[in-house]
Amino acid sequence: MKTLILISHPKFEDSGTQQFLKTSFYSLDDVKYQVIDELYSSSESGQIDVDKEQAAMTDFDRIVFQFPMYWYSSPASLKQFMDDVFTRNYVVANRSLKTKELGIVVTLGDSEADFQAGGKEQFTISELLRPFQAFANKSGMTYLKPFVVNQFGYKDPTEKEQLLVAYLQYLSAEMPLSLENREQWLVARLQATKEGKADDQVQAIDLVINSLEDQQATVESLKQDVKMIRDQEE
Amino acid sequence: MKTLILISHPKFEDSGTQQFLKTSFYSLDDVKYQVIDELYSSSESGQIDVDKEQAAMTDFDRIVFQFPMYWYSSPASLKQFMDDVFTRNYVVANRSLKTKELGIVVTLGDSEADFQAGGKEQFTISELLRPFQAFANKSGMTYLKPFVVNQFGYKDPTEKEQLLVAYLQYLSAEMPLSLENREQWLVARLQATKEGKADDQVQAIDLVINSLEDQQATVESLKQDVKMIRDQEE
């Protein structure tokens, strides 16, 4: 599965959060990214090559819009990109995005807890992202549950590590993020790290993989038991 | 009351709807407009003078964002303007927009009837405009009921005339648009048209004004009657 991250951020290089996330997805071969602001600023005319951008999207199974929330939406560059590249012909007539998934990675400066009825911001993140959900609906894409990065600056190192794993899974694991899909993802990642390692390291990694697979077998068997008990109760 | 219309449209001069609306508000002295796209394209650097734009807003009591719906939001230029001009300092620290009203005039290419749960677009216009409502909430502005122009191209001349009157009221009448506020608005407009007219024309206009005021008095008295009856019933 291949993922394209479209990043909208007027100061991508200066953003600690964005740079932290960037170091992580470098390790994934099937994940590519594009900073939309750089795409526009590197063009002399301020126009981008729409045909090229449309063609570039063909290869990917998952498109992820990644941006800081500015006035309850993405920064203007993502909107410009959508208005330019996602022509009616491309999206509606040719259904070119159909069968792809649409993910959203949104970073918040304010606390996520403020985003609810009665809270300071009054509306939930889900409500504020409706325009993107409506776009997924129109284009036939599968809308993934948005990945919210809540006040990154206040997180301690352990929280940041957990965030990173969850983020990598959001980019490259099969959806939905069930326990099974997350374990399969972890095993695949571990298999990949074996390459070029010394024998004793490979053995250690295999031990972890076996242990994970054993656990997964146990979970499977427990699930069967629970199902049997439930069936008998009905 | 003074109104500023901020228009976001990449092809303002070519848009029949926008040009139609423009001819109408020319007649209102207290309504000014600004095409955001022209503001940016007329600047050599592509940057706008933020201080000047912030200062320009001071005079106005009602700010209206006017745009065609592109991918369930405004075109990118309005977002760029918001990100540039509505700095956190201006909006949140100094509360510079507090006490102003925020109106939205949105034109739709698709049928408004598609915008509902179970409809083709799945979400209502109200839901899709949440980011603007959240902005009004944050800035202390009063959010006005959006003015939706539904498939302008399919309207007949009578419908277009009605649209125009409703639009002019949205721009310059006191809110909410009750019968009383709309009649007061009409009388004020008629009084203004008397200037420079011949005596017989002035008499004719006065007749209409008197008739409107009589009607208003009748409505007032009927309302009193209804209230009395209701009070007795309780």
Question: Taking the domains of chain A in order of start, what are their residue ranges?
Answer: 3-176, 178-234
What would the CATH number be for the domain defined by A3-176?
A: 3.40.50.360
Query: A73: which DSSP letter?
Result: B
Is CATH 3.30.413.10 correct for B3-175? Answer: no
CB of A78 within 8 A of CB of A9?
no
- Provide the 8-state DSSP code for B121: T
Supply the pLDDT for residue B234.
Answer: 74
Tokens describing residue A21: 């996330």
How close is the nearest chain B Cα to the Cα of A117, in Å? 11
d(CA B228, CA A79): 55
Q: Can you give the pLDDT of all 234 residues of chain B as single tens digits?
A: 999 999 999 999 999 999 999 988 877 889 999 999 999 999 888 899 999 999 999 999 999 999 999 999 999 999 999 999 999 999 999 999 999 999 999 999 889 999 999 999 999 999 999 999 999 999 999 999 999 999 898 999 999 999 999 999 999 999 998 888 888 898 988 888 888 889 999 998 999 899 888 888 888 888 889 999 998 887
Backbone angles phi, psi at A43, to 5 degrees: -90, 130
- Kindly determine whether residue A127 and residue B123, on different chains, have CB atoms separated by under 8 Å: no
How far apart are the CA of B128 and the nearest CA of chain A, in angstroms?
6
**A124 to chain B, minimum CA–CA distance in Å?**
10
Look at phi and psi of residue A107 and say left if phi exceeds 0, alpha if psi is from -120 to 50, else beta.
beta
Q: Tell me which residue has tokens 């409500």.
A: A127
The predicted structure's pLDDT at residue B26: 78
Query: Pick from A66, A78, A225: which is nearest to A147 by CA?
Result: A66
Contact A79 B79 (CB under 8 A): yes
Extract the residue ranges of chain A whose pLDDT is less than 50: none
Whole-angstrom CA distances from B220 to A37, A92, A165, B108, B186 are 58, 53, 67, 37, 17
Q: What pLDDT does B66 receive?
A: 98
How much is the ipTM here? 0.90
Chain A CB contacts of B10 under 8 Å are: 83
Q: What is the pLDDT of residue A146?
A: 97
